[in-house]
């Protein structure tokens, strides 16, 4: 098991070394000598404890690894080779972090939010005005949604302009586009939940936009409203889609997205490739 590099690896506890043999002499000298020995023993004990403390995470990791075989997997994940990259390559991770932030703040908002047409507005006012740090958590969720959209488009732009969507990564591009659409669905369904005038009428418009699609549009609108009119089922429907259905789909697809990133590796920036090609060309001449 070689989970961690060099200095953190399992070591034998150090022997208390250089312990001098007891030398007969006069009392003072002997007392001084005893104190020195005690000091050294204490130091050795401290050293042993430090070593033992260092062992704890290693033995926990070892315990897990023996039972899961995660070691090689984690090594493959964390120590895989990546091309020389730059800050643009962090946009995907930033998007993932925005998603996680939305998930966490969303879970905590759900502790106070009531998804009913008559109570939604007052419960959101309660979160904003009364709950400790409620304004902050709601603000993080609200602005985090916009941040996530912006980051997705920057990440999409990086992928496009670096040509990272090409063979063999087309499937990851498709998964990414589905994730983009699902994020938009999150934005649409989340917008209704404060249930103020703005969110209500914006959602009326959004549902009627869906209705404008030929043939299936009117049925899609009925599905979203849970009937022909905005009613009691509409907001609970939007809430279930917003916090159960779509987040579950997104988590699964993000897993697939990351798996493919690790499996296929990261593309080098286009200019790196160009340089390589020139070197090759020189060699070939």
Partner 1 sequence: MGAYDGETVTRRRLFTGGALAAGGIATTAFALPAVGFALGPLFERTEPRMFQDVGPVGDFNPQSYVPKVITIDASVGEAGKSTVYVRKRDPSRDTDHLHQPYIAISNRCMHLGCPVRYVQASERFICPCHGGVYQFDGKVAGGPPVRPLDRFETRVVKGRVQVGPRFSLDSHLHRFKVRDPSNHVDGLWQYIYPSRPTT
Based on CB atoms, which residue is closest to partner 1, 135 or 208?
Answer: 208
Under the binding rule (CB under 8 A), the answer on residue 200 touching partner 1 is yes
Q: CB of residue 232 vs partner 1: minimum separation in angstroms? A: 4
Closest CA to 262 of 81, 5, 72, 87: 81
Q: Which two tokens stand for residue 78?
A: 């964390």
CA–CA gap between residue 258 and residue 247 (Å, rounded): 16
For residues 94 and 151, is the Cβ–Cβ distance under 8 A?
yes
Q: CB of residue 214 vs partner 1: minimum separation in angstroms? A: 5
- The angle at the Cα of 98, spanning 234 to 184, to the nearest 5 degrees, equals 35
Q: CB of residue 193 vs partner 1: minimum separation in angstroms? A: 13
Under the binding rule (CB under 8 A), the answer on residue 232 touching partner 1 is yes
From 137, 175, 207, 250, residue interacting with partner 1 (rule: CB under 8 A): 207
From 162, 191, 195, 238, residue interacting with partner 1 (rule: CB under 8 A): 195
Cα distance from N-terminal residue to C-terminal residue, the chain? 48
Q: CB of residue 95 vs partner 1: minimum separation in angstroms? A: 29
Q: CB of residue 209 vs partner 1: minimum separation in angstroms? A: 6
Based on CB atoms, which residue is closest to partner 1, 173 or 230?
Answer: 230
Look up tokens 């040509």; give the residue: 163
From 61, 217, 260, 265, residue interacting with partner 1 (rule: CB under 8 A): 217
CA–CA gap between residue 61 and residue 92 (Å, rounded): 28
Based on CB atoms, which residue is closest to partner 1, 201 or 259?
Answer: 201
For residues 230 and 204, is the Cβ–Cβ distance under 8 A?
yes
From 98, 151, 221, 268, residue interacting with partner 1 (rule: CB under 8 A): 221
Q: What residues between 100 and 159 interact with partner 1 by CB under 8 A?
A: 117-118
Contact region with partner 1 (CB under 8 A), list: 40-48, 176-184, 228-236, 273-281:
228-236
Closest CA to 194 of 157, 150, 259, 238: 238
Based on CB atoms, which residue is closest to partner 1, 68 or 208?
Answer: 208
- The angle at the Cα of 270, spanning 269 to 274, to the nearest 5 degrees, equals 125
CA–CA gap between residue 131 and residue 137 (Å, rounded): 10
Based on CB atoms, which residue is closest to partner 1, 105 or 210?
Answer: 210
Please give the full DSSP string across 137-169, using - where no structure is assigned. Answer: HHHHHHHHHHHHHHHHHHHHHHHHHTTTTSTT-
Binding site for partner 1 (CB under 8 A): 117-118, 195, 200-201, 204-205, 207-209, 211-212, 214-215, 217-219, 221-223, 225-233
């Amino acid at each position: 098991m070689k989970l961690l590099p060099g200095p953190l690896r399992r070591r034998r506890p150090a022997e208390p070394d250089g312990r001098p043999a007891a030398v007969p002499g006069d009392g003072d000298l002997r007392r001084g000598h005893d104190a020195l020995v005690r000091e050294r023993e204490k130091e050795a004990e401290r050293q042993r404890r430090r070593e033992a403390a260092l062992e704890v995470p290693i033995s926990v990791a070892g315990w897990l690894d023996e039972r899961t075989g995660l070691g090689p997997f984690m090594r493959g994940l964390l120590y895989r080779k990546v091309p020389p990259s730059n800050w643009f390559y962090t946009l995907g991770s930033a998007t993932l972090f925005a998603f996680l932030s939305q998930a966490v703040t969303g879970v905590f908002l759900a502790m106070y939010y009531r998804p009913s047409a008559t109570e939604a507005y007052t419960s959101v006012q309660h979160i904003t005005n009364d709950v400790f740090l409620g304004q902050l958590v709601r603000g993080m969720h609200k602005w985090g949604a916009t941040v996530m959209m912006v980051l997705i488009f920057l990440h999409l732009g990086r992928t496009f302009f670096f040509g990272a969507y090409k063979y063999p990564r087309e499937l990851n591009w498709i998964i990414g586009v589905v994730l983009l659409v699902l994020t938009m669905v999150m934005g649409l369904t989340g917008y209704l939940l404060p249930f103020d005038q703005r969110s209500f009428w914006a959602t009326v418009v959004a549902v009627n936009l869906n209705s404008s699609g030929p043939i299936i549009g009117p049925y899609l609108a009925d599905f979203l409203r849970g009937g022909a009119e905005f009613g009691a089922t509409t907001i609970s429907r939007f809430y279930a889609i917003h916090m159960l259905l779509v987040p579950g789909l997104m988590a699964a697809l993000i897993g697939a997205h990351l798996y493919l990133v690790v499996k296929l590796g990261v593309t080098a920036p286009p200019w790196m490739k160009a340089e390589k090609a020139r070197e090759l060309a020189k060699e070939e001449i």
